[in-house]
Amino acid sequence: MQNISLAIVLAPLFGAIIAGLFPVSKRVAHSVTIGAVGLSFVLSVCVFYKIVILGEAGFNETLYIWLEVGAIKFEIGFMVDSLTAMMMLVVTFVSWMVHIYTVGYMRDDPGYNRFFSYISLFTFAMLMLVMSNNFMQLFFGWEAVGLVSYLLIGFWFTRESAIYANLKAFLVNRVGDFGFILGIAAVLMYFNSLNYVEVFSHANEHKDTMMQIIPGLDWSVMTVICILLFIGAMGKSAQFPLHVWLPDSMEGPTPISALIHAATMVTAGIFMVARMSPLFELSTTALSFVMIIGAITALFMGLLGLVQNDIKRVVAYSTLSQLGYMTVALGASAYAAGVFHLMTHAFFKALLFLGAGSVIIAMHHEQDMRKMGGLKKYLPITYWTALIGSLALIGFPGFSGFFSKDAIIEATHHAYEAERAGAGFAYYAVLLGVFITALYSFRMFFLTFHGKERMDEHTRSHLHESPKVVTIPLILLAIPSVFIGMLTIEPMLFGEYFKGVIAHNPFNAEDYHGVIGFMIHGMLQPPFWLAMAGVGTAYYLYMKAPHIPEQITYRCNLFHKILLDKYGFDRFNDWFFAGGTRKIGNIFWKIGDIKIIEGIVNGLAKMVIWLSSVIRQTQTGFLYHYAFAMILGLAVLLGIFVFGAKL
């Protein structure tokens, strides 16, 4: 098992090294990386089979000791249980699809090999993250995926917007990691270990431990640890107010938007909180905090999707909003539902992004939906797969997103009934979010594929379906987007799939009456009708009466402007953080260092020169001056000798 785990992790790293460091041909670069990630996928299936189907015990072993200080060992090792096995499948499968898709998407790019190297490196880092058995290695993977994200957002490094976005992404993530590393330090302080199993098994002992961060104020240690760790998740999973980097990350090539900024990396925060569920369960304060942050993200980021015209940005805001849903689930203690949504979302959101990419290729890298329309007949495969993705996203009954989203809303409702702080707000936020999701999704869908053809003649004449390397991944991703929900809901939410891995599960097996029962139940609930209303509204506004959106824009000008301005976060951050730090830097440098410190130092030097120029006056060179001084000195000495004795 250790060897298999090692092979799963190292295969993509090997691919990345071959494609990145050696001058190989394009063909070799993509063959090696696709082969390596394919191998990881196949082996992940084996691991999944062993652990989940055969029910073998999970695997938890140390690979080597990174370093040892006193009694504390920092280790690199793997822990594979049902949660990890699922994540491994999702990561390697989506990554594999994206690798294949890239062959078509990046065909003529001069950085072809570099791109393959990066996405394989990403796969390695992400696997290290999910397979870790301790907090430190988690942080390793955590930062490494951040690095690759930085490299890939800035992949086209001559574009000013791209290199602005990648720096921003890295720094915002670092703000999150700042909290994360303090959280890890807190764990080490109270548990004297960073190993998951050891920490979780002693978690209860610190249930009532208090610490003082501000002298005189007692805070629960678990609350502090969980909130600090969650700040890390807020960065990586782009939760309000650290969400600002994700929309800009769309500057990167579309395949990585699918892989990194939708399906896998951004869900690392969700995975992490689910992994830490034994800790989070001990602090309802932290859980309420998580839930409120998630709810804000789910609702308000969804709203921004309504006013975007760039096809990728609509999907990006949709991702933000869906990440908010997952976070709400975590806050409602329904970790399983959050992870379940993570999985279904990975498939259908990767599908939507790759579909958007297929549209972008067909449109010759035009991303503005106002210049699209009527693409249905030119791109049939893209059209149908995008429809599947959209239906899954809005939670249409039967599609994968339906099951996971319904479960989240259900769980939030439970939490609301249980009077958990913030759950009321969260419940209405996620309910309203369903309507908004449906509205922006189908706004995008109608604007792109239906209605008038608004592109220019030249583009129209070249429109055709994307090549097979692009469409086959779409089809392969469409399959789980439909079926994965109904196939896995029973074991994951109502069964024992996560037993012993995730600390708490609000769902009861008695409440479950099969997939059909769940669907019928869902269709009687408000979310279904809200989604339908959203689709209907989109149809009416963008197909039947396209003049109305303009009127709404005009009437609600202020609201529209706020949305276009993304609530002013970017402006505020640029002004306050980017500008402020530079201002402080200049003050420290020009006043602190140059004026004050250098002033004193150079002042001392000047004083020495002044003093010596004064003393130099005594060195006149005239013999009688010196003789006089000698006599004076002699007189003083004698004087002391004579009179001093008397005193």
**Which lies closer to other proteins via its Cβ, residue 70 or residue 500?**
70
The span of 132-140, 311-319, 360-368, 633-641 binding other proteins (CB under 8 A) equals 132-140
The span of 163-171, 312-320, 374-382, 404-412 binding other proteins (CB under 8 A) equals 163-171
Selected binder of other proteins within 520, 584, 609, 629 (CB under 8 A): 584
> How many Å apart are CA 430 and CA 413, to the nearest integer?
10
Q: Does 456 bind other proteins (CB under 8 A)?
A: no
Q: Does 576 bind other proteins (CB under 8 A)?
A: no
Q: Does 136 bind other proteins (CB under 8 A)?
A: yes
The span of 39-47, 142-150, 263-271, 351-359 binding other proteins (CB under 8 A) equals 142-150
Non-local (6+) Cβ contacts of 190 within 8 A are 206, 209, 221, 225
- What single string gives the DSSP state of each residue in 283-326? -HHHHHHHHHHHHHIIIIIHHHHTT--BHHHHHHHHHHHHHHHH
> How many Å apart are CA 104 and CA 101, to the nearest integer?
6
Q: Does 161 bind other proteins (CB under 8 A)?
A: no
Q: Does 586 bind other proteins (CB under 8 A)?
A: yes
Cα–chain center distance at 129: 13
Selected binder of other proteins within 52, 188, 523, 532 (CB under 8 A): 188
Q: Does 611 bind other proteins (CB under 8 A)?
A: no
> How many Å apart are CA 399 and CA 401, to the nearest integer?
6
> How many Å apart are CA 222 and CA 137, to the nearest integer?
21
Selected binder of other proteins within 529, 559, 588, 628 (CB under 8 A): 588
Q: Does 177 bind other proteins (CB under 8 A)?
A: yes
> Residue 170, SS3?
helix
Q: Does 598 bind other proteins (CB under 8 A)?
A: yes
Structure token pair of residue 393: 């996203």
Q: 505 φ, ψ to 5°? A: -140, 115
Asked if 469 and 101 count as a contact pair (C-beta separation under 8 A), the reply is yes
**Which lies closer to other proteins via its Cβ, residue 164 or residue 512?**
164
**Which lies closer to other proteins via its Cβ, residue 154 or residue 433?**
154
Contacts with other proteins by CB under 8 A: the residue count is: 50
Shortest distance (Å) from residue 167 CB to other proteins = 5
**Which lies closer to other proteins via its Cβ, residue 559 or residue 589?**
589
> How many Å apart are CA 405 and CA 340, to the nearest integer?
9
> How many Å apart are CA 485 and CA 496, to the nearest integer?
16
- Cis status, amide bond into 526, omega within 30 of 0: no
Selected binder of other proteins within 42, 61, 107, 157 (CB under 8 A): 157
Cα–chain center distance at 554: 35
According to DSSP, residue 37 is labeled H
Question: What track of x and - describes contact with other proteins for positions 61 through 100 (by CB under 8 A)?
Answer: ---xxxxxxx-x----------------------------
**Which lies closer to other proteins via its Cβ, residue 38 or residue 253?**
253
The span of 27-35, 150-158, 542-550, 566-574 binding other proteins (CB under 8 A) equals 150-158
**Which lies closer to other proteins via its Cβ, residue 193 or residue 297?**
193
Selected binder of other proteins within 380, 526, 592, 639 (CB under 8 A): 592
- Nearest CA-CA partner of 299 in 440, 193, 95: 440
Q: Does 185 bind other proteins (CB under 8 A)?
A: yes
> How many Å apart are CA 115 and CA 319, to the nearest integer?
23
Q: Does 167 bind other proteins (CB under 8 A)?
A: yes
Q: Does 170 bind other proteins (CB under 8 A)?
A: yes
Residue written as token pair 């006043």: 591
Q: Does 158 bind other proteins (CB under 8 A)?
A: yes
Question: What track of x and - describes contact with other proteins for positions 190 through 229 (by CB under 8 A)?
Answer: ---------------------x-x----------------
Alpha helix (H) residue ranges in 499-594: 514-523, 526-539, 547-555, 557-564, 569-573, 580-586
> How many Å apart are CA 349 and CA 480, to the nearest integer?
11
Cα–chain center distance at 466: 29
* Residues contributing to the site for other proteins (CB under 8 A): 64-70, 72, 136, 139-140, 143-144, 147, 150-151, 154, 157-158, 160, 163-164, 167, 170-171, 174-175, 177-178, 181-182, 184-186, 188-189, 211, 213, 581-582, 584-586, 588-589, 592-593, 597-598, 601
